[in-house]
Amino acid sequence: MAEEAIRTADPVRTGGLIELDGLERVFDVRRRTGPLRREKTRVRAVDGISFTVSRGEMVGYIGPNGAGKSTTVKMLTGILTPSGGRLRVAGIDPSRERTRLARRIGVVFGQRTTLWWDLPLIDSYRLMHRMYRIPDARYRQNLERCVELLDLGALLDVPVRQLSLGQRMRGDIAAALLHDPEVLYLDEPTIGLDVVSKAKVREFLRDLNAERATTVLLTTHDLTDIEHLCNRVMVIDHGRLVYDGTLTGLHAIAPGERILVVDLEHRLPPIEVAGARPVRVEGPRQWLAFPASASAAPIVAAIADGYPLVDLSVREPDIESVIARMYSERPAGPVRPRGSS
C-alpha cells in the first residue's frame, strides 16, 4: 500500500526537497572520571550523513538508541546547528532561516505535545491559525479535513490534558498539518497507541501522502510503521548511514533464517530432517529454522514423508530480527547506497 501511495505522489515530485551532504554534529561532553576529575570528550552524534529525499517520498529513518536520529531531525528543523556539512530543506538552510522554514514543515514528537495543555483542543488550533498566519479559508478547510479523518469532532472542546494518548496524538498530527507543510517529520507517532489508533494514524498518513504528496520522514522504533508506510528506509548507527534502500532490500542484505511452522497429529520429539534445525516445540506444533536463501520444498517433503503432518506454513524473517542483526554485524560504511536519491 505504501508503494501505491508513493506512486500516486510521483507526478508532483520535483527533485530533492531534503538534501544532506556530509552532515555532522559533534557534542563536547564533560564526563566525571574521578572525585575531582572531569574529562572532555567529543561525541560525533551525526558523522557525515548524506542523502536526498524527493518531494512526495515517505522515508523511514531508523536506528538503535543513541544512533543520531533525533540530532538529525533537530538539524533538519533548525533547532540545532550542524558542526559541518551542508543541509537544505525546501531550499532553505534550517538553522539560518528557522522561522521561514517553520511555515514549510510540520513536526510531531510522539513523546511531547505542541498543544496547549490546559486549553481545549480547538483553542490550540485557533492559536496556530494566528501564529502561522494561515489564510482563513485554508485553515477552515484543513481543520475540517483533519477533524473528519482523524475523528476529532467530539474532542475539540476537551482540554488537552484530559485527552488519552491516542487522542492527543491525533490532535498533534492535525496541529502539524493546519498550515499545509510540504515536509512532515514524525518522531514515534504511534508510540503507546493501541492497535486501532495505530491503524487510524497510519491510514491517515498514507492518504495524506497520496493526496497531497506531503514528504514524510518517519523516525520510529515500531518497524510495523515502516512496513505500512515507507517504501524506502534509512538505517543509521553511530551517526553514520549504514543502509539506504527498500525494505525488501534489507532482508536481502541481512539474510536470516526462515521458519517452518509444522502442525503434527500429536506431540512428538523435535523433528529431525536435513537442512533445518528445530527451534521450538509446543504440543503438536513445532518450529524449524532453515536458511532464508534455501528452498523449503525438500524440507517439507522430508517432513511429510516421515511425520504425521497436519498443516505447515513458512514464515519470513521478521524485519525486527533482520535489523537487530544489521546492528550487531555492522559494516564499516553504507551498505548499497542509493546514490543521489
| Residues forming the site for ligand ATP (CB under 6 A) | 27, 29, 43, 45, 63, 65-71
Give the nearer residue to ligand ATP in terms of CB position, either 43 or 122: 43
C-alpha cell at 115: 498543544
> How many whole angstroms separate alpha carbon 149 and alpha carbon 211?
13
Give the nearer residue to ligand ATP in terms of CB position, either 45 or 299: 45
DSSP class of residue 57 equals -
DSSP class of residue 318 equals P
Beta strands 215-219 and 183-187, pairing class? parallel
Give the nearer residue to ligand ATP in terms of CB position, either 32 or 266: 32
Give the nearer residue to ligand ATP in terms of CB position, either 236 or 262: 236
Task: Give the burial class of 104: count Cβ atoms within 10 A of its Cβ; 0-12 exposed, 13-18 middle, 19 or more buried.
Answer: middle
Q: Residue 221 Cβ, how far from ligand ATP at the closest point, in Å? A: 7
- Main-chain dihedrals φ then ψ at residue 5, nearest 5 degrees: -60, -45
Q: Residue 29 Cβ, how far from ligand ATP at the closest point, in Å? A: 5
Give the nearer residue to ligand ATP in terms of CB position, either 22 or 278: 22
Q: Residue 216 Cβ, how far from ligand ATP at the closest point, in Å? A: 17
Q: Residue 71 Cβ, how far from ligand ATP at the closest point, in Å? A: 3
Contacts of 313 (CB under 8 A, 6+ apart): 260, 261
Q: Residue 215 Cβ, how far from ligand ATP at the closest point, in Å? A: 20
Contacts of 229 (CB under 8 A, 6+ apart): 2, 5, 58, 60, 202, 205, 206, 209, 216, 218
Q: Residue 220 Cβ, how far from ligand ATP at the closest point, in Å? A: 9
Give the nearer residue to ligand ATP in terms of CB position, either 81 or 141: 81
∠ CA 106-186-26 to the nearest 5 degrees? 95
